Amino acid sequence: MTRTFTALETAGAWVLGFLWALPLAYAVWTAFHPSEFSTHFVPTAPLSLENFVKAWAAAPFARYFVNTIVLVTMILAAQLVLCTMAAYAFARFTFRGREIAFLLVLVQLMIMPDVLIVENYRTMSRLGILDSLLAIGLPYMASAFGIFLLRQTFKTVPKELDEAARVEGAGPLEILWKVYVPLARPVYIAYALVSVSYHWNNFLWPLIVTNSVNSRPLTVGLQVFSSGDQGVDWSIITAATLMTSGPLLIAFLLFQRQFVQSFMRAGIR
């Protein structure tokens, strides 16, 4: 009885696993074979990189890659600095209005920049920075999520360490840099992975604020490419799709454990 049940369960798990892998496997098949095989699944179909070559030549993907990399780096750098400072303030300083300020920060967990597109577009247009990487990144640089995560981490640092450093004559910023930041390293790594994959994948806001090759990130570039002229065939679009998510996907396959742990660590609060 239990044995058949276990066998059934294993089968169920495998069916689900297979279904889950299917769309991606299908995309990989299509991208790596000549287009006449895109819907013919014969094991003898020749492998080819031609679709990738064609996709790469058909749109300025090199520029899009540079844009995305610059964007993601810029956002992450700003987030790390701003969130660290703010989290330190909330964790270890007492000042008037701290509790209210913290509640106001948490508002962003519910009302994310993703839904404030109309007003933020107006602001960017007033600042005169529409169609720039800065405009894509600015709304995300002060991240409530990052502040919250680091504040929780800093609070677990023993006060004695802090005091010992102070006795030795270290100033607040020096203490932050020499005591808190090193102790929070795993949290920084987790946050960085989550932030990079979020902004590598972000689409709607970049779509709205950009309208030229110079500022389009990969996601928007991919959309412009695949919805563009009718002549593009599916094999090439699929190749472009895999190409744009490639670096992240490869990084994930190589560092699977770190990815899963980071997403987990950043999620559980």
Site for other proteins in 164-223 (CB under 8 A): 172, 197, 200-201, 203-204, 207-208, 218-219, 222-223
- Interface region with other proteins, contact rule CB under 8 A, candidates 44-52, 119-127, 151-159, 160-168: 119-127
Among 70, 74, 116, 157, indicate the residue that binds other proteins (CB under 8 A): 116
- Within 10 A of 175 (CB to CB), how many other CB atoms are there? 21
Among 112, 129, 157, 232, indicate the residue that binds other proteins (CB under 8 A): 112
Interface with other proteins in residues 248-267 (CB under 8 A): 248-249, 252-253, 256, 259-260, 263-264, 267
Among 118, 169, 230, 231, indicate the residue that binds other proteins (CB under 8 A): 118
Binding mask 132-151 for other proteins (x = CB under 8 A): ------xx-xx-x--x----
Query: Measuring CA to CA, how many Å separate 210 from each of 64, 119, 205?
Result: 12, 16, 9
Residue 29 CA to residue 201 CA, distance in Å, equals 23
* Nearest in space to 249 (alpha carbons), one of 216, 208, 218, 211: 218
- Smallest separation (angstroms) from other proteins to the CB of 181: 13
Count of residues interacting with other proteins (CB under 8 A): 87
Amino acid type, 240: A
C-alpha atoms less than 13 angstroms from C-alpha of 125 in its C-beta half-sphere: 8
Alpha-carbon Rg of the chain, whole angstroms?
A: 23
Interface with other proteins in residues 49-108 (CB under 8 A): 81-83, 85-86, 88-90, 93-95, 98, 101, 104-105, 107-108
- Smallest separation (angstroms) from other proteins to the CB of 193: 10
Residue 160 CA to residue 189 CA, distance in Å, equals 25
**Does 113 contact other proteins by CB under 8 A?**
yes
Residue 180 CA to residue 156 CA, distance in Å, equals 10
- Interface region with other proteins, contact rule CB under 8 A, candidates 51-59, 154-162, 180-188, 230-238: 230-238
Q: Which is nearer to other proteins, 24 or 57 (CB)?
A: 24
Cβ-contact 233, 165 below 8 angstroms:
no
Helix, strand, coil percentages (3-state) for the chain, rounded to 5, are 75, 0, 25
Among 34, 39, 174, 186, indicate the residue that binds other proteins (CB under 8 A): 39
Query: Measuring CA to CA, how many Å separate 193 from each of 85, 187, 200, 247?
Result: 20, 10, 10, 13
- Smallest separation (angstroms) from other proteins to the CB of 112: 6
Phi then psi dihedrals of residue 205, to 5 deg: -65, -50
Residue 51 CA to residue 226 CA, distance in Å, equals 13
**Does 247 contact other proteins by CB under 8 A?**
no
Among 14, 57, 177, 214, indicate the residue that binds other proteins (CB under 8 A): 14
